C-alpha cells in the first residue's frame, strides 16, 4: 500500500507537480531551470530535476517577473 503525501508537505517536487502547485507552466519552469543551473532550489537526479519547494518559494519571493 503506497501512501500519498500531499503536495504542500513534500520536500521536493517534480516539474509537473511544481507547475500545478505554483501555477507556472512546465515550459517556463524548464526555462527557469536552464537559466539557473546552479541554483540551490534544484536537485538533479540523473536526467531529472526536482525542485526544493521551500527554497524555490524563497527564489520566487525575490524575483519580480517569472
Element containing residue 16 per DSSP (H, E) = helix 15-22
Instruction: Report the pLDDT value the prediction gives residue 2, as an integer from 0 to 100.
Output: 81
Summarize pLDDT for 18-60 with one digit per residue, the tens: 999 999 999 999 999 999 999 999 999 999 999 999 999 999 9
Instruction: Report the pLDDT value the prediction gives residue 3, as an integer from 0 to 100.
Output: 87
**Mind giving me the DSSP string for 17-66?**
HHHHHHT--HHHHHHHHHH-TT-TTEEEETTEEEEEHHHHHHHHHH-S--
**Position 15 pLDDT exceeds 90:** yes
Domain limits of the chain? Answer: 7-62
**What's the CATH architecture for 7-62?**
Alpha-Beta Complex (3.90)
**Position 1 pLDDT exceeds 90:** no
pTM exceeding the 0.75 threshold for the entire prediction: yes
The Cα–Cα gap between 55 and 42 comes to 9
Instruction: Report the pLDDT value the prediction gives residue 59, as an integer from 0 to 100.
Output: 96
Amino acid at each position: 500500500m503506497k501512501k500519498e503525501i500531499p503536495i504542500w508537505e513534500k520536500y521536493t517536487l517534480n516539474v509537473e507537480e511544481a507547475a500545478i502547485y505554483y501555477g507556472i507552466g512546465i515550459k517556463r519552469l524548464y526555462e527557469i531551470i536552464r537559466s539557473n543551473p546552479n541554483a540551490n532550489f534544484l536537485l538533479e537526479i540523473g536526467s531529472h530535476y526536482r525542485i526544493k519547494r521551500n527554497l524555490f518559494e524563497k527564489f520566487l519571493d525575490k524575483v519580480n517577473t517569472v
